[in-house]
Amino acid sequence: MQATDISTLEAVALAATRSAAVASYAWVGRNDQKAADAAATAAMRAALAGAPGRGTVVIGEGEKDDAPMLFNGEKVGTGRGPDFDIAVDPLEGTSFCARDLPGSLATIAFGESGTLWSPGPGFYMDKIVVPPRAKGVIDLDDAPERTLAKVAEALGKKVGDLRVMIMDKPRHKELIARVLEAGASVQTPAGGDVGGSLAVLLPTLDIDLLLGVGGTPEGVMTAAAVRALGGGMLGRLAPQRDEEADAIRAAGMSLDRVYDCTELVAGEAFFVATGVNGGPLLGRPRKSEGATIAESLLISRGQVRHITHTTFELTSPAGTTKETR
C-alpha cells in the first residue's frame, strides 16, 4: 500500500472502531453479550461501507460463539481504491462489556491484500507474545519453565521478576500453576486476548510476555501490532473440540505448524482499538457538553498513537447535525 492509502485507511479503521465502541457502550452493564456484539458489528459494518477501495474480511469473530459477526469473505468498501485485507473483532471482551468490567475494546487490523493469514475453520491458537528484545529466543515447543528462563535472560531480568499474562480459562490451569511454581507472577484476566498482548508491547503496562490459547482473529490482529512494533510472536492452531480439529485437517491445514508474526501478517499492516468500558489501555466513551469523546490506539509503521475523537452535536434551524473532529 502507498503511504497515502495507508493514511486514508487508518482514518477509516479509526472511524470503524469508534462507531463500534460508541454503539456497544449503550449495552455496558446490561448482561446481554449478543446485543452488545450486534450493536458493535452493525456500527462497524456501516462505517466500513464507505471505505475507499475493496476490503475483504479474512478473519472475523462470531462463528465459534454463534455471535453476530463480520463474516469471513465479506466484502466492504466502495470498490474505488486499493484492495486490502481485514481482521476484526468488533467487540473484544463481550463479557467485560456485559458485566461492566474494564477491558473491552472495539478492534480491527488492515493489511495489504493477500497478507493476512486465514486460519480457515480454526477458531483457537496457542501463542507466545514478547517484547522486541526477546523475539529471537521463543519456541512454542519449549516447556513454560524454559520459556520463562530464556525470556528473562533476554530482558536482563530474573524469572522471579517476570510478569506473565495468561487468560483465566480452565484450559490454562496447569500452565498457570507451572508459571507460578517457576517463580514468575501471573496476571489472569477472564478474557481480553488482544489487550493482554498489547500490554506486552507497550512498556507502560509492565507485562513481559503472554502465554496460552486464545482466538485466531485476536491472534492475527495481535500479529499486526507485533509486526508494526518489532516484537516477537509465535502461534499454532489449537482446536478445542474434535470437530474443530477434524475441520482443520479436512481443509488441508496442519495442527503442528508454527507461524511467526511475519507469516500471520506477511506485509504492511496496522492495528486499531477503541475503548468501550475503560481499563488500563483506553478510557470509555463519554459525554461532555454536547460532545461524545472516545479514546483509540493506532499501531502503525513502528509508532503507537493515542487518539481522542470528539464528535460534536450541533443544533441549527435545519435540525441536528454531527461533525467529527
Q: Which residues are annotated as a binding site for Mn(2+)?
A: 37, 61, 89, 92, 218
**Dist CA 22 CA 18 (whole Å):** 6
- Identify which of 237, 221, 235 has the alpha carbon closest to the alpha carbon of residue 121: 237
CB 265 within 8 A of CB 224: yes
Helix (H, G, I), strand (E, B) or coil at 247: helix
Q: How many CA atoms lie within 13 A of 162 on its CB side?
A: 33
Q: Which residues of 255-278 are buried (b: 16+ CB within 10 A; e: fewer)?
A: eeebbbbeebbbebbbbbbbbbbb
CA-based torsion, 238, 167, 217, 31: positive or negative: positive
User: Facing residues of 288 across strands?
Assistant: 291
CB 248 within 8 A of CB 120: yes
Locate 66 and state its grid cell: 454463534
**Contacts of residue 70, Cβ cutoff 8 Å, sequence gap at least 6:** 41, 44, 45, 48, 57, 60, 61, 62, 76, 86, 88, 90
Distances in Å between the alpha carbon of 145 and those of 19, 152, 183?
Answer: 42, 11, 9
**Annotated binding residues:** 37, 61, 89, 92, 218
As to burial, measured by CB atoms within 10 angstroms (0-12 exposed, 13-18 middle, 19+ buried), residue 319 is: exposed
